[in-house]
Amino acid sequence: MKTLLGKEFKESSPIEVIDYLKSQDVKVYTASPSDMEFKSNLGQLFLQVYDEGLSFEYPMRESCLKKTLKWFSFPTEKYDFLQDGTLLAICNDTLKAINARNLNFKVINSEVVTINSPYYTTFTNLDVIKSVLSLGISKISLNDYIMRIYTEEKYKAEPVVGDTCGFGINIINSETGFSALSVEHFILRYTCVNGATAHIQGVNERKNHYNLPAGELKNFLFERIDKVESSRKNVIFALKKSSDEPAEKYGDNFFYKVDAITGKQQSKDFFKGFDWKKSKYDLFNLITDKAKAYDVTKRYRLERLAGELIMN
């Protein structure tokens, strides 16, 4: 079953991404689940919406398909194995099972990108960018699923002898419901330009977009930026400590976690040739190096996994 993909930006200039976002024709419509139906035409998925005797068809992006499957926790990476009729039936049964009078669906350039609850709080990518411009934005990654903002470097340190790292901030947002708003440490190794994003429990929690008063997400953003700035020393200490810990005690756990991100076939090769007698810091470097080959979403998830390794 064919779906469409929006444009993807990988570590692009802020101006390029801002201009692109401003150029998009974005509309949000409301409809009852009973007036919505997924259909296919020559293998292409559409969302058909009925309104007062009229019907409207919107070509579907992959993000809308996955968001629909995600509603009741269907494994979104597995839908390729389904026959077209089965996939269509699952999507339509999902719509019928949603207990809501109305749903919002977002359309960009006449293509439907997501279906959200009416309780979903909108914090657009443009609004997030405008909110953090004063931090200094070096680059932005963006696709239909998430936006990842990289600030300019805020600090430099050598947590491991001979390995200089720059430290900044990552801000993550999703307009389509695939990620909470979060503020995280970003670590960049100069020697090989590998990056990771680190989460500190209790410091940079994520805030979901659901059922919040207007303005609360923006307030959360500013609060977390201040707390991340004040907790950077914890990340540097964890990096130093990781060079003395063996990687092998994390093996089984991280095989499973990488498999969940990349898929079984690619995960088999991910750790190929790695010497598990090396340190946790070496494992961190392997994950961040391999992450560079993936799309924006998977790269972020892998680099966040690397940060999780360091902070545990």
- Check residue 101 and report its DSSP letter: S
| Cα–Cα distance for residue pair 87/43, rounded to 1 Å | 11
Residue 178: both structure tokens together: 């695939």
pLDDT band at 205, cuts 50/70/90?
low
CB 153 within 8 Å of CB 180: no
At 157 the three-state DSSP class reads strand
End residue of a domain, out of 116, 148, 172 = 116
CB atoms within 10 A of CB 174: 22
Instruction: Determine, yes or no, domain membership for 19.
Output: no
Residues 225-246 have a mean pLDDT of 89
End residue of a domain, out of 73, 92, 116 = 116
**How does pLDDT run across 146-190, given as a tens digit for each residue?**
999 999 988 988 888 888 888 999 999 999 999 999 999 998 877
111 and 207 part of one domain: no
142 and 31 part of one domain: no
What distances in angstroms separate CA 173 from CA 39, 96, 205, 302, one per listed residue? 30, 29, 13, 17
| Cα–Cα distance for residue pair 45/55, rounded to 1 Å | 16
pLDDT value at position 254? 86
Residue 111: both structure tokens together: 């293509």
Residue 108 CA to its chain's centroid (Å) = 19
Percent of the chain's residues with pLDDT above 90: 66
Instruction: Determine, yes or no, domain membership for 5.
Output: no
DSSP for 126-138? Answer: HHHHHHHGGG-EE
CB 210 within 8 Å of CB 117: yes
- Check residue 197 and report its DSSP letter: E
207 and 285 part of one domain: yes
Q: Is the pLDDT of residue 191 over 90?
A: no
For 121, residues 6+ apart whose C-beta sits below 8 A from its C-beta are 209, 210, 211, 212, 214, 216, 217
DSSP E strands, 52-98: 54-59
* Residue 118 one-letter amino acid: P
Residues paired with 39 in a beta bridge: 46
129 and 101 part of one domain: no
* Residue 298 one-letter amino acid: K
Q: Is the pLDDT of residue 23 over 90?
A: yes
CB 250 within 8 Å of CB 274: no
Residue 218: both structure tokens together: 């923006």
pLDDT value at position 203? 46
178 and 160 part of one domain: yes
Total domains present in the chain: 2
* Domain with 42 in it: 25-116
pLDDT value at position 202? 46
67 and 180 part of one domain: no
- Check residue 245 and report its DSSP letter: S
Instruction: Determine, yes or no, domain membership for 84.
Output: yes
The residue among 202 and 140 whose pLDDT is bigger is: 140
Nearest in space to 3 (alpha carbons), one of 61, 72, 66, 88: 61
End residue of a domain, out of 86, 116, 146 = 116
* Residue 205 one-letter amino acid: E
| Cα–Cα distance for residue pair 44/254, rounded to 1 Å | 36
| Cα–Cα distance for residue pair 54/124, rounded to 1 Å | 30
Residues 49-74 have a mean pLDDT of 95
103 and 129 part of one domain: no
107 and 166 part of one domain: no
CB 144 within 8 Å of CB 6: yes
- Check residue 121 and report its DSSP letter: P
129 and 107 part of one domain: no
